[in-house]
Structure 1
Amino acid sequence: MPHQTTITERGSFAIARCSCGWTGPARRSRDRARTDAQTHNPPLAVPSGI
């Protein structure tokens, strides 16, 4: 099952969170929180033989 990341904003800062329980570093800029979420949630690999 793929991870589902979200960005939670608090004032001018944001935190990346994932359905697996992972939480990115606190008090990030919105752009940095988005990057944290994308880094945590890499694209799914396609199994060979398909």
Structure 2
Amino acid sequence: MYVQRTEEVPQTPATPVSSGHEAMTVERGSFCTARCSCGWSGPARRSRDRARTDAEEHSAAP
């Protein structure tokens, strides 16, 4: 599961997934990055869809 965040939108808590990870996407300018509550951060991407996929893949990892 992921939560999309932007600098303009107030941050809202997300429901943690069963693996204990709370993955989300954060937009900064024209780039989007997947981040997790465990400290993991994916690469900055122009494709929001790919950043969401990065977040989902990380959340599904054991």
In structure 1, the gaps of 5 or more residues are: 45-50
Using the size of structure 1 for normalisation, the TM-score is 0.73
Q: Paired residues, what number?
A: 43
Q: What is the DSSP-based 3-state SS (H/G/I as helix, E as strand, rest coil) of the residue aligned with 1:24? A: coil
> Considering only aligned residues, what root-mean-square deviation do their CA atoms show, in Å?
1.9
Question: Quick check: which has more Rg, 1 or 2?
Answer: 1
In structure 2, the gaps of 5 or more residues are: 1-18
| Structure 1 residues 23-34: aligned runs within 5 Å | 23-26=41-44, 28=45, 29-34=47-52
Runs of 4+ in structure 1 displaced over 3 angstroms? none
Using the size of structure 2 for normalisation, the TM-score is 0.60
